[in-house]
């Protein structure tokens, strides 16, 4: 398993101007840089690929799903825009050499409502329809699409691994796998190791986040149980630290980051890398 870190730890949006993060991330002991894809147009994809290769890093790509990128919206134009963004994310992943595009692809972050059952079924149907069409694009590009459950305060659609598996079964396309984020799972799942085992071979991506999104190993997550479950299901993908800086106002507001989560963002990343490296052996 390779250890990675998301660019949201330091900045949003990530642009070509922030490529100085690449050698720093390598020097901190990471194997993977996870690109938070706020806007593909702001990133020189070819240069990114060359620089990461030169620094011995591989890439994963994480999507950013604001209200205009919602494939389950009741607004057809928003659904089209959301599907177009996912396709663009897949093409970006292919260009930079990533085999993964992941995140809450099914809806918009922050979409939390109590709606009638028939409305929920319609939203689910729109989501399934869009993901089926996108599946061929992903397969042709050699890219896996991760479906990430979010906690109840960030989504009313998929909060559990069980629900993500149901969506993947309904879409019925091999391009899709489950993306577990331990911050969200700590709120929603009865136990994170059990959730990992439930995902099993359909686990396609993993965010290793402390319960407060601070430095992994400094909170109350069951890291030994998490490690054992990952090994039990044969997971061999990236283990990525995702957190956010209060300095990036829009993303901090969306993720409710109102205070520093570590003495510095560099310490959050480097301390997390050391802990996870020791944990995984």
Which residues does residue 32 pair with via DSSP β-bridges, in sequence order?
4, 58
Angle at 210 between CA 34 and CA 183, to 5 degrees: 75
Residue with tokens 């044969």: 234
CA nearest to 94, candidates 40, 21, 164, 19: 40
Contacts of 4 by beta carbon, 8 Å cutoff, 6+ apart? 30, 31, 32, 33, 34, 60, 238, 239, 240, 241
Active site residue 148: yes
Tell me which of 34, 188, 189, 242 is the catalytic residue.
242
DSSP 212-266: TSSSTTSSS--HHHHHHHHHHTT--SEEEE----TTSHHHHHHTT--S-SSS-HH
Tell me which of 34, 94, 123, 148 is the catalytic residue.
148
Angle at 57 between CA 219 and CA 102, to 5 degrees: 65
Given a contact cutoff of 8 angstroms between Cβ atoms, the answer to whether 157 and 111 are in contact is: yes
Supply 143's token pair: 């890219």
Active site residue 189: no
The per-residue b/e assignment along 210-237, b for 16 or more CB within 10 angstroms, e otherwise, is: bebbbbbbbbebebeebbebbeebebeb
CA nearest to 106, candidates 87, 122, 130: 130
Positions annotated as catalytic residues are: 148, 242
């Amino acid at each position: 398993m390779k250890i990675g870190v998301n660019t949201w730890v330091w900045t949003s949006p990530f642009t070509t101007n922030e490529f100085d993060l690449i050698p720093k991330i390598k020097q901190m002991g990471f194997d993977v840089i996870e690109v938070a894809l706020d806007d593909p147009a702001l990133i020189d994809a070819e240069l990114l690929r060359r620089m990461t290769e030169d620094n011995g890093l591989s890439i994963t790509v994480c999507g950013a799903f604001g209200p205009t990128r919602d494939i389950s919206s009741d607004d057809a134009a928003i659904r089209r825009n959301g599907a177009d963004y996912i396709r663009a994310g897949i093409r970006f992943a292919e260009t930079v050499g990533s085999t993964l595009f992941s995140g809450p692809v099914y809806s918009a972050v922050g979409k939390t409502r109590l709606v009638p059952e028939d409305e929920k079924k319609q939203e689910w149907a729109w989501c399934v329809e869009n993901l089926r069409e996108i599946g061929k694009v992903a397969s042709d590009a050699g890219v896996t699409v991760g479906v990430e459950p979010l906690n109840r305060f960030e989504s009313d659609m998929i909060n559990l691994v069980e629900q993500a598996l149901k969506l993947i079964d309904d879409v019925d396309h091999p391009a899709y796998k489950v993306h577990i984020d331990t911050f969200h799972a700590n709120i929603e799942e009865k136990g994170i190791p059990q959730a990992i085992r439930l995902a099993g071979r359909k686990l396609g991506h993993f965010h290793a986040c402390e319960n407060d999104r601070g430095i992994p190993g400094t909170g109350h997550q069951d890291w030994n149980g998490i490690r054992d479950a990952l090994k039990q299901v044969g997971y061999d993908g990236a283990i990525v630290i995702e957190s956010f800086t209060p300095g990036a106002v829009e993303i901090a507001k969306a993720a409710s980051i109102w205070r520093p989560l570590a003495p510095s963002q560099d310490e959050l990343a480097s301390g997390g890398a050391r802990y996870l490296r020791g944990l995984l052996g």
